[in-house]
Chains A and B, each alone.
Chain A
């Protein structure tokens, strides 16, 4: 299989497949400035979000980690950071700047919105000139971090699309790649299998602690999760229980062994396969993987979930023949012939592999073409 790609090498050694000039708001009330800069400077991308004020403790830590990680993502060339006040804004900018990337911070207090827009826009113009002058270079696919998360799954996911991603994962790890997966609650019923796959006792205990925490949270709400887990879409597609959904979910890592267990948005310490403690909501999980450095995301779907991410191409794979047809503008890789056993698992995986290489070299995925830019930082608890 061809594994050479043309990609962007960043000053910190990471390899990216896109080249964004990011306009990063630190708080909800700075979205307006970020979006105004995006409007007047071609080639920039603002990622508005509803958070950043009065968060505290672990929730605030995760929020910062998510913003900084997003700026550090290898698909980003330069970052204009905009906040309401200078302290948090400069802190985030300084953390991103450690990577050697072009970064500058602006804040609204003391200047007002219009002057801030002008200053930030002038910097953004320079950043776009520099970023668009960077060239793709030869790299190996295995230099990338790839993340996995499925959504609007149905039974065709466990039978088809997730198994294809699983075989891809086995191959990609064999060539020295790095893979992230998560979805802590959606492992309920398959956790015993995952626990056996985790290489070290220390990491195994870490996973068990994370898993038990989520179980306690679910139990503490004292509600029937049917309809939320599995979702109404899952049920329509034939999934009956969380156990069945979890067993299908786990197909995404094939028979691979897990090297380590990460906190939300934590960057993998080395190459290999890593579990990350994430929500199972698609946009939240993909946002956390992107903050940990994922350059490409693989998203198997059954009933058809349109999710994208502002900075990471999300490749949609389905084995459901109805979805492949009725939602074709969302589907990048159709493996529905696998359900009829018309092709082998390896042949279906070749199809995905080629698309990953093409995507890495610059081919747009459907979610990018359809303007899906879901940036959803995970909120752990209410703000102060």
Chain B
């Protein structure tokens, strides 16, 4: 059983594949099953939502799929929920 999946090793975020509750110790793998991760969730992460795999600084570019998906609008702690409240598109701005 995995709690979250990661598109590519080195990504800053994983995606919850079940509803994760704050305080849970969670396990993840890359989609090809090659790399494993474990960390503590510091917030609730609903199914399909992203969990920070490391601390992300405000203004830092956020990486998923090995690509830039936007920039952090706030400091994001490892294990925190990553979504529209703390990252933003770098396009169409």
Q: A residues near B, CB below 8 A? A: 154-156, 158-159, 163, 188-190, 193, 215, 218-219, 224-226, 229, 235, 237-238, 240-244, 247-248, 302, 320-322, 339-341
Contacts and interface: CB of A to CB of B under 8 A. Distances in A.
Given A240-B83, A340-B17, A155 B49 contact: yes
A158 B65 contact: yes
Contacts of A219: 92
Given A158-B65, A190-B67, A242 B89 contact: yes
A279 B46 CA distance: 30
A240 B50 contact: yes
Contact of B64 (A156, A224, A244, A321): A244
B89 A320 contact: no
Interface string B18-38: 000000000001010100000
B7 interface: yes
A31 to B, nearest CB: 37
Given A189-B69, A247-B65, A340-B17, A154 B31 contact: no
B73 to A, nearest CB: 11
Given A235-B84, A320-B48, A340-B1, A218 B17 contact: no
B78 interface: no
B70 A244 contact: yes
Given A226-B84, A340-B1, A341-B33, A244 B69 contact: yes
Contacts of A189: 67-69, 89, 91
A155 B49 CA distance: 7
Given A235-B84, A243-B67, A341 B29 contact: yes
Nearest to A302: B48
A242 B92 contact: yes
Interface residues of B, number: 30
B56 interface: no
Contact of B67 (A154, A163, A247, A302): A247
A320 B91 CA distance: 27
A322 B90 CA distance: 31
B15 interface: yes
Contacts of A229: 92
B91 A188 contact: yes
Given A158-B7, A322-B47, A340-B2, A240 B82 contact: yes
Contacts of B49: 155, 238
Given A156-B15, A156-B48, A189-B68, 13 more contacts: A154-B48, A155-B15, A159-B5, A219-B92, A225-B92, A238-B15, A240-B83, A241-B90, A242-B91, A243-B70, A339-B5, A339-B17, A340-B1
Interface string B59-93: 00000110111100000000000111001111110
B31 A240 contact: no
Of listed B29, B46, B84, residue having the most chain A CB within 10 A = B84
